Structure 1
Amino acid sequence: MKKFLKIFAVLVLIVLVYLRLAIYPQLDLISGFSAKSVASGHFIDDRSLETIEQGDNDIPKVDWATNTINDAEKLVTSNVHGLKERKAIYREGLGATLINDDFDVTKPYDVPHRLMPASTEPYLFPYGDTGEVDTSFASIDYVKLNRAVENAFDKKGEKKKRTRSVIVIYKDQIIAEKYAEGFNQKSKILGWSMTKSITATCFGILQKQGKIDIMKPAPIAEWQHDERKNITINDLLHMNSGLEWEEDYGKISDVTKMLFQAEDMSKSQIEKPAQYKPNTHWNYSSGTTNLLSGILRKQFKTHQDYLDFWYRDLLDKIGMHSALVETDMAGNYVGSSYGWANTRDWAKFGLLYLHKGNWNGTQLFDPSWVKYVSTPTNTSNGRYGAQFWLNAGGYFPDVPRDMFYCSGYQGQMVTIFPSHDLVIVRMGLTEEPDFDFNGFLRDVVGAIKK
C-alpha cells in the first residue's frame, strides 16, 4: 500500500509540474482571447454571450474561460477557473481592446471621423446597401449556382462546415446570397487576416497620392545600425523581409504574445533579428503587418489624421460603412487581424480590386497596384503576393489561376476572379478540410457560362 501511495504521489507531482510548465502560461492567452472575442462580438455585432461562447469561442482551451459582460462600463472580464483574469474594453469608433492593469480607462482618446452617406436616399449595391438577388443573367446556371451556395452551409443539426454567410457578385450584381441562422445582411463579421489586405491597400492609396515610396527602406530607427536597414516597405508588404517570426496560434509564440499581451503591436516585429537577406525567404508574419500599420501612422502629422485616413480614403470611400478596424492599447490599428464588416461590405472591398482601384469613377489607387499585390512573392511558390493570397501556383487545383484573395482565420475569404468578373465571399468558422474551398469555388465558378 505504501509503495502504491508513493507511486501515486509521484504521478500527481508529475501532472502538477506539467500543468504548471505547459498549461499555466497559456491561461493568460486563453482568457485574453476569450475576453477580446466576447467584447468584440457583443459590442460590435450585438451578439449574446451564449452565441459567442457556442460559436466564436467554441475552440479547444478557449472554451475553458468564464466570461462576464459589464454593459454599463462596456467591459468584459474573463478567467480560467479563477486564474489569469483578463479584461477587454469597448470604445465607440475603436472597437474592443484587450487591456492590462496599467491601462488608464479614463484617459481621453481620439476616434476616427467617419464619412457616412449625406443622403437618406437608398442606393443600389454596390454603391449603396439595397438591392435583391439578380436572377436575370442568361449566362448563369442558377440551379447549379444555388446548389453550390446551399452546399456551403450545414444541414439542420450538423456542425461541420459552419458557414455564416456567402455572397456571389457577378458584373457588380448580387447573384446569390445566403446567411446561417442568427446572421443577416447587417451582421458584422470579423475578417481576421483579411484585414492585412486592407492595410496593404492603404499603402497603395498613399503611393497613388505621392505620399510614400514603398521601394525605399522602412523608416525604422532601430534598424539603422545593422543589416536590417536594407529592408524596404516592399519587402514587408511581401512578407519576405528575412526577419525572425513564429506564426503559431496553437502555443505561446510571437503572434499570440503580440495579439494577447503586447501594448504596442507595431513594435513586435521591430524587435526581431534578421535571419535571412531581404527577398530571399518568405515567412508569413502578422507582426510584419502590424509593423506596416505603425509605418502608416508615421506618415501623418497627428494621430487623428492616421485614424481618419483608413476610413476617409478607403473604407467609407467605397461605402464600407459597417467596417471597423480595432486598435491596440497604443492606438495603432491592428492591421493584421481586427477588421470587421458585414458580408456585403466585404464584397465591396473585393469589387474595388476587381475594378482595379476605381470606385464609381474615382481612382483610389493606381491600376498597376492590382498587378503588384497579385504577383507572386519570391519563394512563396505562387501562394502569396503583397498581403493577398494567390492561386497562381494552383493551390486550389480546380479554380482559375488568376484568382487572388483575402484570407482570414477560420475560413474568412474574399475571392477576386478578374477573368470571370466575379467576387465570392465566404465567412464562417471552419477551414480545410472541414470546409472544401476548392469544391465550393469550383462549383460557383462552374455555374457561370463563359
Structure 2
Amino acid sequence: MKLLKKFLLLLLAIVAIAFYFNYPRLNILAGYSAKNTASSVFVANRTLAFTDSTDNNFSPIHLTTDKINSTEKSASGSAFGLLTRKAVYREGLGCVLVSDDFDTSKSFPIPNRSQGDLITPYPYGNGPQKDTIFANIDYDILNTSVESMFNNVNKTRAVVVIYKDQIIAEKYDTGFNKDSKILGWSMTKSITGTLFGILQCQGKLNVFDKAPISEWQNDDRKNITIHNLLQMNSGLEWDEDYNTISDVTKMLFLEKDMTKTQIDKPFVGKPNETWNYSSGTTNLLSGILRQQFDSHQEYLDFWYKALIDRIGMNSMIVEADMSGNYVGSSYAWATPRDWAKFGLLYLHNGNWNGDHLFDKDWVDYATTPTPTSDGWYGAQIWLNAGSRYPDAPKNMLSFNGYQGQNVFILPDQDMVIVRMGLTKNADINVFLKTVISSIKH
C-alpha cells in the first residue's frame, strides 16, 4: 500500500512538473484556437464546424476543443481540457483574446464607418464591373494557371487577377465567394505602413524624425527613427517564430497592449544595419500612430477615413487588442476584391480615381530596399529586387501574410494578382510566371 501511495505521489509530481513547463505552450495553443475560432465565426461568418475542419485543422491546433457562445458572441479554446482561453467579439473592433480579468461589460469607442458605393462599377465602387475582353490576353493560359492553384496541396481559397483595372480572372474555393472576408495576417503591416505615408504626404509627420518613445530617451535607442521602424531595421531584439514560444506568439496571445511589446527590447544590432522582421515593430508603429491624435476615437477613425473606407475597402475590419489599439501587424480581414483594391492603390501611386491619398514619392520611398534585407523589404512592403521570385519582374512589390496571403503589384504589366490560402505550399513563382505569360505582346 505504501509503495502504491509513493507511486501515485511520484506520478502526480511528474504530471505537475510537466504541466508547469508546458503551461506557456498550452496557453498559446488554446489562445490561438479561441481567437481564430471567434474571428472566423463572428467576423468572417463561417460556421464552427467549417472552422474546425479548415482554419484550425493543422498541427498542433487541431488538438484543441473549440466552443461557441452565440449569445455573448464569444469562443473558447481548450487544450486537452487542462487550460481554456476565451475570445470575445466587439462591434467595430472584431474579436480579441481576453485575460481572466478582462471586463467584457466595459464599453470601448468604435470606429465610425462610411457606407460602400454599390453603384459605381468595381474597382472604384462595389457595383458590377463592366465586362471587358482584352484581345492581348490569352485566357486559356490565364484560366489554366488560376485553376492549378486549387487543389489539396496548394489549398488556395481565392485568386483575383486584375489587368488595367478590370478583373480578368477570379476563382474561389468551396465555401468562399467574392463576399467572403479572409484574414490577411501580415498583409495588415502594409496597411499600417501606408497610414504613415498618408500622414507624411499631409505634412503632419516626418518619418525621418526620431521615434517618439519616452522609454528610449535615456539610452542609445533614442536615435531610432520612424524610418528605421518602417523598414524593420531598428537593431532591436525580436524573435518572429510562430512554431515556438517566441516574442511574436507571446505578443499575439498573451499581451493586453501589443503596441508596447517591442519597447522593452534591447539592441542586438545597429539602426539601419540590422534588418529583422518584427511584428512587434509594426504594433509599436500602431502605437506611434495613436500618439498623432488627441483622442482614441480620432485614432480609430483615421484608419478607415484616411485609407480603408476612402478607397471602398468597406468589407475590411482591423481587429484591436484588449487595450483597444489596432493590431497593425496581423489582424485585418477583408474580401479578396478589397485586398486587390489596396494593391491597385499602389499600382496607381496613391491616386484613387482622382483622389490623391499619397504621391509617387511615398511609393518610391516605401519600395526602396532596406539595407541588409537582400532586396526583399522596403517600408512594410515586400520587394522582388532581390529576385525572391526569379521569374517575376524585379520591380514587383507585394503585401504578404502568414499561410500564403499575397497581393502582388506588377507596374510593368499594369496588373494586380491576389492569392489567399491556407498554406505556402503553392509554387508562387511558377504561378506568377504563367499569369504574366498570358499577356501577349
Query: Would the TM-score normalized by the shorter structure come out above 0.5?
Result: yes
Is residue 135–residue 142 contact of structure 1 (8 Å, CA) maintained in 2?
A: no
1:288 corresponds in structure 2 to 281
Q: Choose the corresponding residue for 1:237, options 225, 230, 233.
A: 230
**Is 2:137 aligned against 1:140?**
yes
Is residue 168–residue 177 contact of structure 1 (8 Å, CA) maintained in 2?
A: yes
Q: Secondary structure at the match of 1:103?
A: coil
Q: Choose the corresponding residue for 2:150, options 149, 153, 159.
A: 153
TM-score after normalising by structure 1? 0.94
2:30 corresponds in structure 1 to 31
CA distance in 1, matches of 2:417, 2:123: 14
Is residue 133–residue 174 contact of structure 1 (8 Å, CA) maintained in 2?
A: no
Is residue 132–residue 166 contact of structure 2 (8 Å, CA) maintained in 1?
A: no
CA distance in 2, matches of 1:14, 1:142: 66
Per the TM alignment, residue 331 of structure 1 is displaced from its structure 2 partner at its CA by: 0.8
**Is 2:54 aligned against 1:63?**
no
Aligned residue type for 1:244: E
CA distance in 2, matches of 1:394, 1:17: 50
- Which whole-Å deviations, capped at 9, do the CAs of 1:177-224 have from their partners, x for residues lacking one? 000010000000000000000000000001111111110000000000
**Is 2:400 aligned against 1:400?**
no
Is residue 410–residue 430 contact of structure 1 (8 Å, CA) maintained in 2?
A: yes
Distance of aligned partners of 1:397 and 1:19 in 2 relative to their CA distance in 1, 3 Å threshold = farther
- Which whole-Å deviations, capped at 9, do the CAs of 1:333-352 have from their partners, x for residues lacking one? 00000000001000000000
Is residue 86–residue 97 contact of structure 2 (8 Å, CA) maintained in 1?
A: yes
**Is 2:126 aligned against 1:129?**
yes
5+ residue gaps in structure 1?
none
1:374 corresponds in structure 2 to 367
CA distance in 2, matches of 1:97, 1:170: 37
2:102 corresponds in structure 1 to 103
CA distance in 1, matches of 2:357, 2:301: 16
Aligned residue type for 1:129: N
Is residue 266–residue 294 contact of structure 1 (8 Å, CA) maintained in 2?
A: yes
Q: Choose the corresponding residue for 2:355, options 351, 354, 362.
A: 362
CA distance in 1, matches of 2:287, 2:23: 32
Is residue 383–residue 390 contact of structure 1 (8 Å, CA) maintained in 2?
A: yes
Aligned residue type for 1:44: V
- What root-mean-square deviation, in Å, do the aligned CA atoms of Structure 1 and Structure 2 show? 1.9
Q: Choose the corresponding residue for 1:352, options 345, 348, 353.
A: 345
Q: Choose the corresponding residue for 1:439, options 423, 430, 435.
A: 430
Per the TM alignment, residue 91 of structure 1 is displaced from its structure 2 partner at its CA by: 0.9
Q: Secondary structure at the match of 2:43?
A: helix
CA distance in 1, matches of 2:207, 2:301: 21
CA distance in 2, matches of 1:129, 1:180: 21
CA distance in 2, matches of 1:229, 1:294: 16
1:220 corresponds in structure 2 to 213
Q: Secondary structure at the match of 1:45?
A: coil
Q: How does 1:37-436 map to 2 (within 5 A)?
A: 37-117=36-116, 122-131=119-128, 134=131, 136-154=133-151, 159-431=152-424, 434-436=425-427
CA distance in 2, matches of 1:13, 1:379: 51
Distance of aligned partners of 1:152 and 1:221 in 2 relative to their CA distance in 1, 3 Å threshold = same
Per the TM alignment, residue 12 of structure 1 is displaced from its structure 2 partner at its CA by: 7.8
Is residue 140–residue 449 contact of structure 1 (8 Å, CA) maintained in 2?
A: yes
Distance of aligned partners of 1:279 and 1:165 in 2 relative to their CA distance in 1, 3 Å threshold = same
Is residue 385–residue 395 contact of structure 2 (8 Å, CA) maintained in 1?
A: yes
CA distance in 1, matches of 2:243, 2:410: 32
CA distance in 1, matches of 2:383, 2:131: 28
CA distance in 1, matches of 2:141, 2:86: 47
Q: Secondary structure at the match of 2:359?
A: coil
Is residue 133–residue 176 contact of structure 1 (8 Å, CA) maintained in 2?
A: no
Aligned residue type for 2:429: N
Per the TM alignment, residue 81 of structure 1 is displaced from its structure 2 partner at its CA by: 1.9
CA distance in 1, matches of 2:230, 2:294: 23
**How many residue pairs align between the two structures?**
436
Aligned residue type for 2:272: N
Is residue 121–residue 130 contact of structure 2 (8 Å, CA) maintained in 1?
A: no
Is residue 141–residue 448 contact of structure 1 (8 Å, CA) maintained in 2?
A: yes
Per the TM alignment, residue 20 of structure 1 is displaced from its structure 2 partner at its CA by: 3.7
CA distance in 1, matches of 2:256, 2:154: 35
Distance of aligned partners of 1:138 and 1:22 in 2 relative to their CA distance in 1, 3 Å threshold = farther
2:439 corresponds in structure 1 to 448
